[in-house]
Chain A
């Protein structure tokens, strides 16, 4: 039934002249407002510009597919352990429903695989903020651990692109144990003389910051990325301390000495590829 059939049809002559009529109609999903400079950007323009504001350079978040495309040479990414899925090991109330909802957009909070970056064979792990805010569960830790073990065995470098709200509470202590497990795998990879580069993206916090994200030989970050162990809300609530401006941005953390370089998105792949080559990794034969 059409409710609007009862509404009196609008007569052009009746309506007041509308200034908006001259503006072309743009559906909402076609534009996005930059949170920093308030400019309205066409989504297509922004996406073509690697999800960076064309006006002020604000870096919008990227989804996991865009992120893989940013680093991997075209059509070279081959996923590993893609079939691993989280289950509700502790029988935590509400977790099954949360997982079900998260699975509508992704498979797990990290995608791992192998690809070429600037022609160099590399293991690439990209975390997915779309899946439970990139929280670290047992499967997240296991996939990253296996990626490092594979890289150690094949003597490949690893690039990890982090984004995470921290531990996955619904997996309790098992989530905490992933910090130890992944750190162990990173250490073995490191002891084998192999290169590990981390790329911190917004936000990288909690248990991920306190484990593999901060364990790279070289730690890069995107501009204006939140990098924290205890996030700003945790500090303000538990410590009742007022935070300085720009506290815990990647620029701030670099100034404090914990990040090697803040790199804008358009230069990231080139820098990573050059770092791989500086460390003696050669372009794979075609």
Chain B
């Protein structure tokens, strides 16, 4: 597949969304928790508690919705400041109970609307980046579809970031990039190549640790092996002291891209 075909696959309305992953991996153990305790409950972000085998877990996912009605309700997976603040509230709660956090990311980006701007979209994302960096509990992020810029990063300052084989992660959409740089959004396929946004590109750049084979809805065995993988990674990080853990996270981001720096 070309880079742009992967972008299309990542946006495919028929692919599994965050609530599908939650249902397949955690089943009835999932208890949804709502609201940012400040302004509202943002339905673009679904969050709550679940059991990963014997380990309690905080799960936070960006949800695009599976049909037109759901997609409207979920604002097409474009979170507003309340969504990021709900996520942070539950991450802080997880830290208090030293419970690991799993984030599932699937968004074209944070919502660029008037209300979101008025209520501090930039500030909400910035605060998540800062607080996640020193969160004293393990955090793992899996990009399950689109990883759109700051709106995705706000749930991806984690110990490890994994990507589904057909997921993409980028600073800007290829259409946006093509229209800004070349004044021609039809050049999106070229932009998709140039931006290096596929799982393989990002693995090579050291931005993601692992590429995961895309599970299908009926494939229980694949969800089981994904669960095992998540469990092993979180267990490993749970054994670290909070200082070791946050140092490791800081160094993870500290070293990305620095091999190319000339001083």
Q: Could you say which residues of chain B place their CB within 8 Å of the CB of A145?
A: 254
CA distance A186 to B180 in the complex (A): 30
| Cβ A229 vs Cβ B121 within 8 A | yes
Question: Closest CB of chain B to A168's CB: distance in Å?
Answer: 8
Is A211 within 8 A of B171, CB to CB? no
CB atoms of B125 and A229 under 8 A apart:
yes
Chain B residues lying within 8 Å of A173, measured Cβ to Cβ, are: 169-171, 195-197, 202, 205, 207
Question: In chain B between 86 and 120, which residues have their CB closer than 8 angstroms to a CB of chain A?
Answer: 110, 112-114, 116-120
Q: How far is the CA of A215 from the CA of B122 in the complex (A)?
A: 10
Contact A212 B114 (CB under 8 A): no
Cβ-defined contact, A191 with B134, below 8 A: yes
A169 to B254, CA, bound (A): 20
Q: Which of A84, A90, A230 contacts B263 (CB 8 A)?
A: A84
A147 CB, nearest partner CB in chain B, Å = 14
CB of A172 within 8 A of CB of B196, answer: yes
**In the complex, how many residue pairs between chain A and chain B have their CB atoms under 8 Å apart?**
170
- The interface-forming segment of B57-65, B149-157, B219-227 is B149-157
Among B118, B122, B157, B254, find the residue whose CB has the most chain A CB atoms closer than 10 A: B122
Min CB gap B120→A, angstroms = 5
| Min distance, Cβ B196 to any Cβ of chain A, angstroms | 5
Cα distance, A190 to B170, chains bound together (Å): 29
Q: Which of A208-234 contact B (CB under 8 A)?
A: 209-215, 227-230, 234
Contact A181 B256 (CB under 8 A): yes
Contact B157 A176 (CB under 8 A): no
- CB B255 to nearest CB in A, in angstroms, measures 9
The listed residue (A81, A187, A248) touching B134 by CB distance below 8 A is A187
**Does A102 make an interface contact (CB < 8 A)?**
no
Closest A residue to B263 using CB positions:
A84
The answer to the question of A241 belonging to the interface, with a C-beta cut-off of 8 Å to chain B, is yes
- Taking a contact as CB atoms under 8 Å apart, the answer to whether A177 and B126 are in contact is no
Closest to A172 in B: B195
Write the A54-96 contact mask toward B (1 if CB under 8 angstroms, else 0).
0000000000000000000000000001011101011011100
Q: Are A258 and B126 in contact, with the CB atoms below 8 A?
A: no
Q: Report A-chain residues with C-beta under 8 Å of the C-beta of B194.
A: 90, 92-93, 172
Q: DSSP class of B's interface residues: helix, strand, loop or mixed?
A: helix
Residues of the A chain whose Cβ atoms lie less than 8 Å from the Cβ of B118: 256
A-side interface size class: 35 or more
With A142-B258, A169-B181 as known contacts, state yes or no: A229 contacts B172, CB within 8 Å: no
Give the CA-CA distance A184 to B122 in the complex, in Å: 16
Q: Is the CB of B113 within 8 A of A186?
A: no
**Cβ-neighbour of B126 out of A84, A87, A170, A183 (below 8 A):** A183
By the criterion CB–CB under 8 Å, are A181 and B126 in contact? Answer: no
- With a cutoff of 8 Å between Cβ atoms, the chain A residues found around residue B254 in the complex are 145, 181, 184
Q: Shortest distance in angstroms between B78's beta carbon and chain A's nearest beta carbon?
A: 10
Q: Which B residues lie at the A interface, using CB under 8 A? A: 110, 112-114, 116-123, 125-127, 129-131, 133-134, 149-150, 153-154, 156-157, 169-172, 177, 180-181, 190, 194-197, 202, 205, 207, 249-250, 253-254, 256-258, 260-263
Binding site for B on A (CB under 8 A): 81, 83-85, 87, 89-90, 92-94, 138-139, 142, 145, 167, 169-177, 179-181, 183-184, 186-188, 190-191, 206-207, 209-215, 227-230, 234-235, 238-239, 241, 243-244, 247-248, 256-258
Interface CB pairs A-B, < 8 A, 25: A81-B263, A93-B190, A93-B194, A142-B258, A169-B171, A169-B172, A172-B195, A172-B196, A173-B169, A173-B195, A173-B197, A174-B205, A179-B153, A180-B129, A180-B157, A181-B256, A183-B157, A184-B133, A184-B250, A187-B131, A210-B121, A214-B123, A214-B126, A230-B113, A256-B120
In the A-B complex, the 10 residue pairs with the smallest Cβ-Cβ separation, listed nearest first, are A230-B112, A229-B122, A209-B122, A183-B129, A184-B133, A210-B125, A214-B126, A176-B171, A229-B121, A210-B122
